[in-house]
Structure 1
């Protein structure tokens, strides 16, 4: 029987630490501490490794504290909004909206979504002085505690605590706020995943250095310049700021950035379809295989005439130049360049005896995007974003909410996100990312999923009276928060997409099906009808719902003594009154535990009936959290394992406080006997 003090010890997964433990276990002591000095001495024996005393880097007041926060335990649990999630439109949804501090949420999701996210887009506070950003932190350390935990002197620890407690908006405060969030976010990305971060000129320099440190300078891809406004400058003496920046980093260098794929051009009948390498072929009348030196002048390119200069060893094979040439008297193609062009199905070929050249290519390679994003790429501005939000709600609703246009998010998603990938936005704001993903799915039939995280940040009734009054009066929320806007935007956007996109497409396909079914030669149209029906079913199944979860403190109220007992547990002590926990509390515990055990929030635990006792099962894990477990339930459990082929709990996890010590030993003994008899592996864990 293993004991785990898990609930108050959920930490972000760290792949690097796991690799150290796997390959250099001899450098860990009995307390699981890594002996760096011993490791350094070991590495120094290798002559190829140099330990530089001076290097380029970034430092700020609070960096040691930020690192501590990145690896500190979560202080919350995850609770499901069961009523909302069981609604018909939401019960099978794979979209998520989570209410809470995004640092806490990232930690709680770090196991279940470890290396599962394809793309992250965030629009964090810009720290302009007018956007309301101040550093707030509910973690309380003494100077001595922080000094010990962060490995810094007490004077520095004191200065850090002063700015964390003073609601600072300095560069140091902003970096301390961003570092742990970006650090954990990196762990969630797939190996070929990417992150986009919007920012303006106030923190762009600091953000670039911070991202270099976390993701690696070699994984920087681009800084995009997005034209956020087309409104002309006013008479102010200040320069009109019309650009914001979007930093793009990849998890690791996988050479993914090829951009948007252009439509293939027509082959004009010159493509030999039977050849798997797609080699270009030409009219048979061209038989000349070698040309002498000379200049040939024919044809036009727009309004310009151009020349081909045949160099000394120029050759033409089946109408394709296969040796160096000069094009239009300007550009000399080297042999390597020409070979690469031919390899990629680009060729200059002879159309007539006059040797008039042109280009032909069956498929165009994806092109790298511009680092400028504006209306010429179909991307809107802040004004468009405001209109989108106002049209969903009421006039002037978007004021002081600073939304991004959905067209911007769709443009970024189209770089590389496939139809089944997960996209995370942990500064969800008004919910633009979720809206954009639903729009894209409706347009191309994709199944992208979103995870949005939003703090229940209070709406300032003076700065945005329209939004405040709407949430309070129309949505009946006593204390209006941004989270309520996020939620309502997703609801309204889904309805809009259904009416304006999906229903129209479905009706169109229904009409096409009826037209084909009315044909006399119906047999010839069966395949087309079948394809249309599949497309229509896909449209009807589009995910327009979402599930809601929220973080709740695990150090307040009924959980307070629970945490105390975690730290000082002894069977004879009665520090924690488990009778206070109701069914909802136990479900909260289950939700938190399942994510810790790597089960996604959208994957529901299956109830297992063990006589009159309920267990919860998924992915070979069985949770026993309810009171009242007796010998008869243990007997039924073993029978189920023996007889039910679909039920194989490789791990059985019991909530220790709801079991008598005698029963825990009985379960352990019987599981051990059963394991030996059946020669199978079953772990029994008692969790607190």
Structure 2
């Protein structure tokens, strides 16, 4: 019976396997010096020969972004980890039914743990990483360099420690540490995107240039969509020019797979549609009365975005519409007849019709032509058919309004510069719009979980059932902060509370009838593996050690802990429904009915094995030492081959 690996995927080996598919002669087998295991290895001399017409050798100049620590950052992105995700039921909301996830821990570790599960599955990623202020990051990866080490590697100090540059105030370590932090996270995140998926990254002017180069390298310059300008409030520390904007870099996984056009709902549309619906219920088919009252409503909305749609002041059985000129410069020139009266409709000088006679007749039949007189017409354009537009590259939203809304929601101002949920809602609408019924939205620098709030708002608006994956490190709040005074020990606690309150607020408002109203989330936290670490060589083991190793699970770990490590290792969706039953006196977990069946108790009997095999599950897992006897353990695979030959059987 095969055992589960209990560590994240080894990306280096996966990449070598891909090279092997392209160049079989360039991959060989080699012994791992540390473990003695046989691993795939690349024969780089042979690979250079295969690419001899295109390879760039040695110090020859090339266009690329380099910094001290980049190689180590790449190694870190590919290195597997032996950790797990443990469920926390008390901090979750609607754990049994929700499809949303809140993952707590270092985001690089989380991304590695979930990449098998969500490989090529995420539709939208939005992140707002920590801006480079020169301070230390809470994400201190093992390759981060000290100041002296950096200065030597970058040739700013000699081996004796003497400075080689006069001015070190602008040295590259300021940028290198930040680039080394973000690089592996973006590398792994790209693997999670669908082929038509998009990523939006907020950044300020300190690192926008370096980040643009880096994302060109990771995602491909051909997959760059745009650099969005997010205009907010002026900074008070300006000396020459007041910077009043930030940037959002947008890339897609594969531009060829991305739909040709993105759109967003026009500002102010929803209030108009709601008012039209109210008037139609009140006045029925008296469309003149409805139109007259709608025109008055628009006059009262001068200070709102809806006022910009005031031309849609007429109502008929289809909804709100505006009347447009049916002619256009350079349009068709022919004699247009009124199909009801046969009269000729005159054409103004230097104009042409925007349609032919056949199309005109169809529009008349559909009631889309307004006859001002028998010889004067207008075309009806309906709001619900023209309520979207191509998104613009500049967004204006005062930063203060988002801060005020969040402070009101949480009952305190715990974040200085929270992102605006209505802007992120636009990004979700752009890249996971009407076709994305159950798209996954991810934010692995969740902060106050603005992205989760934005997704709730968009789901409530259009009735889609998108689901989120939020990732947040439990960064400690400052001891003297208002957040600590309010009882929040770390940022992750505030983040989860914001999701709870935002979900409740959205549910209490108006929402689309097709929305499934899922505002819950499962909390899973990064922790060390559930399995005991074994550091003994065979000649060092004694009888007591062997007895200790009979149970390879750490003390204090629950059956649910083991189950979720199995889900992670097997690459099974962490939000699937889980049913717990007692079968033959043992606890058995059924994940998505028979997608995975797990019995992690001790004393498993042959009768229980046969009972589970009779259900023909897709996968089944037991404890390696959980069987009542060695004979039962040996017979497990034989029983499944007879009763359920397609079941994959493994142990932990």
TM-score, normalised with respect to structure 2: 0.71
> Which residue, out of 633, 636, 639, partners 2:608?
636
Once the two structures are superposed, residues 476-505 of structure 1 have per-residue CA deviations (whole angstroms, 9 ceiling, x without a partner) of xxxx11111111112222232233x05xx7
Q: Distance in 1 between matches of 2:232 and 2:391?
A: 18
Q: 1: CA distance between counterparts of 2:27 and 2:455?
A: 45
Partner of 2:177: 173
Q: Is the CA contact (8 Å cut-off) linking 2:195 and 2:254 kept in structure 1?
A: yes
- For residue 547 of structure 1, the aligned residue among 498, 508, 522 is 522
Equivalent in the alignment of 1:613: 586
Residue 37 of structure 1 pairs with residue 45 of structure 2:
yes
Whether the 8 Å CA contact 2:446–2:472 is kept in 1: the answer is yes
Please say if residues 428 and 453 of structure 1, whose CA atoms lie closer than 8 Å, have aligned partners that are also in contact. Answer: yes
Q: Distance in 2 between matches of 1:367 and 1:440?
A: 16
Question: Is 1:483 aligned with 2:488?
Answer: no
Q: CA 1:569/1:228 → structure 2, altered by over 3 Å: closer, same or farther?
A: farther
RMSD (Å) for aligned C-alpha atoms? 4.5
Q: Which residue matches 1:2?
A: 2
Q: What is the aligned counterpart of 1:415 among 430, 434, 452? A: 430
CA displacement, residues 34-72 of structure 1 (integer Å, 9 cap, x when unaligned): 33433443455xxxx633445321111111111111111
Whole-Å separation in 2 of the counterparts to 1:129 and 1:670: 58
Tell me the equivalent position of 1:531: none
TM-superposed deviation, 1:136: 1.2
5+ residue gaps, structure 1, are 142-153, 163-167, 272-280, 290-295, 299-305, 322-349, 375-379, 473-479, 506-534
1: distance between equivalents of 2:374 and 2:47? 74
- 2:600 equivalent to 1:625: yes
Equivalent in the alignment of 2:63 = 56
CA distance in 1: counterparts of 2:175 and 2:502, whole angstroms: 36
Match of 1:82 in 2: 89
Q: Does 1:73 align with 2:80?
A: yes
| Aligned counterparts of 1:259 and 1:2: Cα–Cα separation in 2 | 49
Give the drift of 1:425: 0.6
Q: Report the Cα distance in structure 2 between the residues aligned to 1:10 and 1:568, rounded to whole angstroms.
A: 31
Query: For 2:97 and 2:537, how far apart are their aligned partners in 1?
Result: 35
- Deviating more after overlay: 386-395 vs 666-675: 666-675
- The one of 384, 389, 412 equivalent to 2:406 is 389
Report the alpha carbon displacement of residue 673 of structure 1 after superposing the two structures with TM.
6.1
The 1:568–1:188 alpha-carbon spacing in structure 2 relative to 1, beyond 3 Å, is: farther
Structure 1 residues 12 and 486, CA gap change in structure 2 (3 angstroms): farther
Residue 357 (structure 2) aligns with: 318
Query: What's the counterpart of residue 601 of structure 1?
Result: 574
User: Match of 1:122?
Assistant: 127
- TM-score, normalized by length of structure 1? 0.68
Aligned residues: 544
**Would you say the 8 A contact 2:421–2:453 is kept in 1?**
yes
Q: Give the number of the structure whose residues are more often strand, by fraction.
A: 2
SS at match of 2:211: helix
- 1:406, CA displacement in angstroms? 1.2
Deviations 1:652-685 (A, max 9, x none): 333335558x62x64344523652x568334443
CA distance in 1, matches of 2:540, 2:561: 21
Deviation, 1:82, is 2.4
Report the counterpart of residue 487 of structure 2 in structure 1. Answer: 471
The partner residue of 1:654 within 622, 625, 633 is 622
Shift of 1:358: 8.0
Change (3 A) 1:316 1:383: closer
Q: 2:448 aligned to 402, 405, 430, which one?
A: 430
Change (3 A) 1:126 1:635: same
User: For each residue in 1:364-383, what CA deviation from the matched residue of structure 2 results, as whole angstroms up to 9, or x when unmatched?
Assistant: 59643211011xxxxx3221
SS at match of 1:74: coil
Q: Distance in 2 between matches of 1:201 and 1:442?
A: 34
The aligned residue for residue 218 of structure 2 is 214
Moved more, 404-413 or 210-219: 404-413
Partner Cα separation in structure 2 for residue 212 and residue 568 of structure 1: 52
State the match for 2:393 in structure 1. Answer: 371
2:244 match: 242
1:564 pairs with 2:535: yes
**Deviation, structure 1 residue 411:** 1.5
Contact 2:324 2:379 (C-alpha < 8 Å) held by counterparts? no
